[in-house]
Chain A
Amino acid sequence: MPTFSISSNGRLEKTVVFYNGEQLTGLKEIYININEEGNFEAIIQYQGTDKKIYVFNIFEDYLINLKTTEPTLTDLELESLITLTIESDGNLENTSVFIDDEYQEGVVSLYVHIKGADNKDGIRKFLSSKYYIPDTPELFTEIIFRNEDGSIDKEKIF
């Protein structure tokens, strides 16, 4: 069963993603929208090792030409981040959510949308005076829990 983890402090430049324990790079967008009503969307868009852009379902498809890298963060740095882990085979019944290795129960919905902007490339990137902050970054995460008394809690993950 694939394991997908996102470690972040809420800022795109400090957001690392792991797929089955391997750190990914070259990601463009991640969209996860899972809820108890049966909605299960887990999409990843990335630039492959062949420079092509791929869009796949994270838990159902085989992610070809995925770019991986050696871990870039130290254990200490990783500890300072919040890690969301999803284990699933694409079925809601077999989906487990962990936050900082803690199993989460009573999840009503999970929404994650992380998008790295289309940065300038090549000579334009070199000549640009802008620092590495994408023009239109997007990092939105939300998890909704149902408490024992039936009330609903909405929380941000990172």
Chain B
Amino acid sequence: MKAYNHLRRFFGTVIIFFALSIFILPDFAEARRGGGSFGGSRSFKPRPAQTAKPKTSNVPRQQRTSSFGGTRISKEQAKAKYGIPKKVEQTKRVDANGNQRTYNIHNYDGYANGLMTGYLLGHTSWLWMMPFHPAFYYSKPYYVENEDGSIDVYPPTFSIMRLLIGIALFSFVIWLVYRLILANRKVKKQQNSSFV
């Protein structure tokens, strides 16, 4: 019976890890792949056809910003969504293709602004992918590519979808703990019967 209980607890733990993996690992992998905050989702924008061989950069890989992370939106969408920023900072960084790009960072204050800075500097943590960290409930920064080649960066926004996922995860963990307690009670009751 003890071995059976251990087995059941083991399965419970596996289920928790499995559930966490489903929601968290894709983000985690993405974060690892990026090593930073800027990203490659921009590559889907049609670019002029290049006949030359792919460019290689002399910039060390660590100094590049990632091609992954964040979401690209149009300038109109960004204006409608965010309004007038409190401050716009301009910074130059190297993108994943090794090109020097100008980034216009739109600051609006608040927690999301701090997150944006974290993403831009590449100072993210795997804890951000955990539902007990507030960053989990925010999207990645939004990027707007301007015609002059510069990129506007907007802070992450609160994600209702991620909130629902967080609630679902917490509910699952609470339910699992409840089940474990109930299972123990079951075992105690079972001990008073010769019938399985």
Residues on A facing B (Cβ under 8 Å): 12-17, 23-28, 47, 69, 72-73, 77, 114-116, 119, 122-123, 126-127, 131-132, 134
Contacts and interface: CB of A to CB of B under 8 A. Distances in A.
Given A126-B179, A131-B186, A132-B186, A12 B8 contact: no
A13 B196 contact: no
A122 B15 CA distance: 13
B50 interface: no
Kindly name the residue among B183, B186, B194 whose own CB sees the greatest number of chain A CB atoms within 10 A. Answer: B194
A28 B11 CA distance: 26
A29 to B, nearest CB: 8
A90 to B, nearest CB: 22
B186 A24 contact: no
Interface of B: 8, 11-12, 179, 182-183, 186, 189-196
A11 B159 CA distance: 52
A75 to B, nearest CB: 14
A12 B189 CA distance: 11
Contact of A116 (B179, B182, B186, B195): B195
A114 B183 contact: no
Contacts of A25: 194, 196
Q: What does DSSP make chain B's interface, helix, strand, loop or mixed? A: helix
Contacts, number: 53
A59 to B, nearest CB: 18
A5 B196 CA distance: 18
Nearest to B190: A132
Given A123-B11, A126-B8, A126-B11, A16 B183 contact: no
Contact of B194 (A24, A77, A123, A127): A24
A56 B8 CA distance: 31
Contacts of A119: 196
A23 B194 CA distance: 8
A115 B179 CA distance: 26
Kindly name the residue among A17, A25, A115, A132 whose own CB sees the greatest number of chain B CB atoms within 10 A. Answer: A132
Contact of A132 (B11, B12, B189): B189
